[in-house]
Amino acid sequence: MTKDQRGVTVWFTGLSGAGKTTIRMAVEQELRAQGYKIEVLDGDIVRENLTKGLGFSKADRDENIRRIGFVSHLLTRNGVIVLVSAISPYRDIRDEVRSRIGDFVEVYVNAPLNICEERDVKGLYKKARAGEIKQFTGIDDPYEAPLTPELECKTDQETLEESTARVISKLKELGYLPANSRVTA
């Protein structure tokens, strides 16, 4: 079943380990179950396919986000709900992508650095602290938190279900999902 829907890019940004992908997956599951057209652009997967060869300098990170933003824009203007989970550490490039896409909902997935380090399933923080990874966001490269995101999910203070419900609710509030839809999360 395909629903008439308005395209939007939902951009989950935050430190590694904050919960971006976890929330994105829960939102995706809920929206797919209701028949919405969804595309997912996950930062790790995009780096393996669309932006292979880019490093982690500011210029390369910006180009990575521009490319994700370009694909998001194409999908969004064609009525697709695009769920992006990418650290995207620099505010200026997120704002550039927002202005290009237009229908853009920024979700700041916020967890304190110490919590992200405790959740470090890939062992990246440990490697960064040991000097094995350079330019790691939150350690020796900055993360610029959004100033006015549409939504902030504090994953050290709310459950996955609460965060997911808040994202769905925000999409309804902004008119991207019908207010009377069965999507509840």
Q: Which residues belong to the active site?
A: 88
CB 76 within 8 A of CB 3: no
- The whole-angstrom separation of Cα 64 and Cα 154 is 26
Alpha-carbon 174 to chain mean position: 18
How distant, in Å, are the alpha carbons of 56, 167, 182 from that of 28? 28, 11, 15
Q: Give residue for tokens 């008119």.
A: 175
> Hey, how many other C-beta atoms are within 10 angstroms of the C-beta on 26?
19
Residue 102 backbone dihedrals phi, psi, to 5 degrees? 85, -70
